[in-house]
Amino acid sequence: MSNDSTLHAVTAADFSQVQHLVVTDEYAGQRIDNMLKVLLKGVPLTHIYRLLRKGEIRVNKSRIKAHYRLASGDKLRLPPIRVSDARDKQPKARPQQLQQVEDAIIYEDGGLLVINKPSGLAVHGGSGIKLGVIEVLRQLRPQSKVLELVHRLDRDTSGCLLVAKKKSVLRHLHQQLREDQVHKVYHALVAGRWPSRKKIINVPLQKNTLQSGERMVKVDSSGKPSTTEFRVLTRYKNTTLVEAKPITGRTHQIRVHSQYAGHPIIGDEKYGLAETNVDMRSLGIKRLFLHAAAISFILPETGKPFTISAPLPDDLQKGLSQLQ
């Protein structure tokens, strides 16, 4: 189409009328919902997903799902959309939040940031959360044209979080995730004595959303195949520190597999044991004891294998000291 614009050339002012855009190599491989979140800054996510569901956003004249991955040369049709200036409406991060995220950076090169995400800080805003790691990071680095989450962590989970500084790096890492070339290691403190022989939990998981909007995951034969490898690290009187390696990447996977094994994670308000959590709070463990301890992948800038570890936060380390 001769009047098509390339995706990277479009500005917010253009969205007041129908747009026909051609996907460039820069965006190839990205999920369309993730791309639209960036392209349509200021538009509520609920509205973006509604437009996708209703088929008002089309690719190559066809309806597509939110998980559709764009290909170079795809022709994207956008209906008229009112785009506000997100920067005017975005709440400003407090100096303490800016410093917290700055201090959490444990690796940086020309295309990638690795953050030891603090517990309690969401990775992005939404669902009543005004600011997450990515919004704070963008305010911290206003000169950076690209800052995109490579993957996600639950709000209460701490540890390794990857943020791309280049579209090419984002595509490279997403491809590695799809091809199971990214390996994650978590440390979790679980209730009871985890048996040494119990090394693999392989049960399907089904994700449900309650009327309140809360996400719950349960073991269900109709769910998606899910596998986690476990290894005992240290035994304490009534708890066990385990290493968990998710082979698949389902929502709340380690938490639900631990619960299914009869050893829920300490501090888990959703899948854990209320009485045990109360006892652990008296010892200083006041939140979910789940930490993304390390992540391994091919470093896009060098093409070489790369592993980085995030030290256990002080609050969890102190809790283990109390158990000893």
Rounded to 5 degrees, what angle do the CA atoms 167, 298, 309 make? 105
Tell me what pLDDT residue 270 has. Answer: 93
Listing DSSP states for 211-225 in one string gives: TTS-EEEEE-TTSB-
Tell me what pLDDT residue 246 has. Answer: 96
β-strand pairing of 290-299 with 158-164 = parallel
Tell me what pLDDT residue 42 has. Answer: 67
Low-confidence ranges of the chain (pLDDT < 70): 1-14, 42, 83-90, 126-128, 209-213
Give the orientation angle of helix 32-39 with respect to helix 45-53, to 10 degrees.
130
Cβ atoms 48, 34 nearer than 8 A: no
Tell me what pLDDT residue 212 has. Answer: 62
Both tokens assigned to 87 = 């920067």
The rounded distance, in Å, linking the Cα atoms of 319 and 311 is 14
**What are the φ and ψ backbone dihedral angles of 282, each rounded to 5 degrees?**
-70, -20
Tell me what pLDDT residue 241 has. Answer: 98
The rounded distance, in Å, linking the Cα atoms of 208 and 211 is 10
Q: Tell me 118's DSSP state.
A: P
The rounded distance, in Å, linking the Cα atoms of 64 and 216 is 26
So which residues are the catalytic ones?
154
The rounded distance, in Å, linking the Cα atoms of 13 and 17 is 9
The rounded distance, in Å, linking the Cα atoms of 5 and 195 is 59
Environment class of 73 (CB within 10 Å of its CB; exposed 0-12, middle 13-18, buried 19+): exposed
The rounded distance, in Å, linking the Cα atoms of 292 and 294 is 6
Environment class of 251 (CB within 10 Å of its CB; exposed 0-12, middle 13-18, buried 19+): middle
Tell me what pLDDT residue 1 has. Answer: 34
Question: In 10 A of CB 299, how many CB atoms?
Answer: 18
The rounded distance, in Å, linking the Cα atoms of 258 and 76 is 43
Domains parsed from the chain with CATH numbers = 5-82 (3.10.290.10), 93-175 (3.30.2350.10), 179-323 (3.30.2350.10)
